[in-house]
Amino acid sequence: MASLANKPLHPFWVIVNKEIRDYVSSWRFVILLVLILLTCFGSLYTSITNLGKSIKADDPDGAFFFLKLFTVSDGSLPPFHVFIGFLGPLLGIALGFDAINSEQHAGTLSRVMAQPIHRDYLINAKFVAALIVIGTLFFALGFMVMGLGLFIVGIPPTAGEFLRILFFLLLSVLYVAFWLNLSILFSIRFKQAATSALTAIAIWLFFTVFYQIIVNLIARAIIPDGASSPQQMMAYQNLVMNMLRIVPSQLYSDATTTLLMPSVRSLGPLTMEQVYSAIPSPLPLGQSLLLVWPQLTGLIAATVLCFAISYYLFMRKEIRSR
């Protein structure tokens, strides 16, 4: 037993521990953590004060009282999942925009690579360490919201609600992991940390603000007038929605809305016949997961693609000592 206790850590986990300490002790992480905590408490206060108003007799989500902590808002502040969708990318970008180029600029990258460790340990450890920090933060926030809601409201979550919240937190970690990998990719591609940070933020702003404006302009140009048939209008609406679903934030929004609002039965336009024949009842968790499976697959594919490109560029990168 003593020999196992004194066994040194694997070099990969040594780098992971070092990166976690660097992330947690950095000022940018502390500032983002305070910002996320403030918005979290603000959205929680808004949801708790408006829980009674949100419950109606004809509300299909009325039975899922605990999920409303993450979705209810009075309009003054967005709900919890909207805040995560907005601030999460900034957290991923902040943890990854200088992952490689800052060490290369400081001359520490060549020293690390001179050690008897595999080259891919470094980039893998940076991603794993940042993912551990993000996952710990989000799950701590999620359980804190549930704990405060349980303490204030006094109603415990059901098993279905608890599982839906867990899947929502996992989805949030996956969503931020995409932006983390994208920022790491730019930190490998560009020599200056400021350039990689500005590029990642520019892409985030484009997909958050300007892309939807462009899609709306295209929709106005291609959608026919009111004399068109309902089938044509449905086809054009599907085209617009598919164009919006290229954006990771839209995939995240669709998936979180479906998980946290069990009454959502479709993520696309419905005909009058489908609406008339639909039963306004919540979906079970398995059916909700099947409904968001395309969005989940898209986020996983985008995250894996960014990591694969980063891995390839880093393995082929020329590292010189200063």
Locate the domains of the chain by residue range: 10-315
Mean pLDDT of the chain: 81
* Residues 204-260: tens digit of each pLDDT: 999 888 888 888 888 777 766 654 666 666 767 777 777 778 888 888 988 898 888
Is residue 279 pLDDT above 80, yes or no?
A: no
* pTM score, whole prediction: 0.87
Closest CA to 83 of 134, 50, 35: 35
- pLDDT for 134 equals 93
* Mean pLDDT to the nearest integer, 48-66: 64
- pLDDT for 224 equals 60
Lowest mean pLDDT among 26-30, 134-138, 239-243: 239-243
For residue 118, the tally of other CB atoms under 10 A from its CB is 10
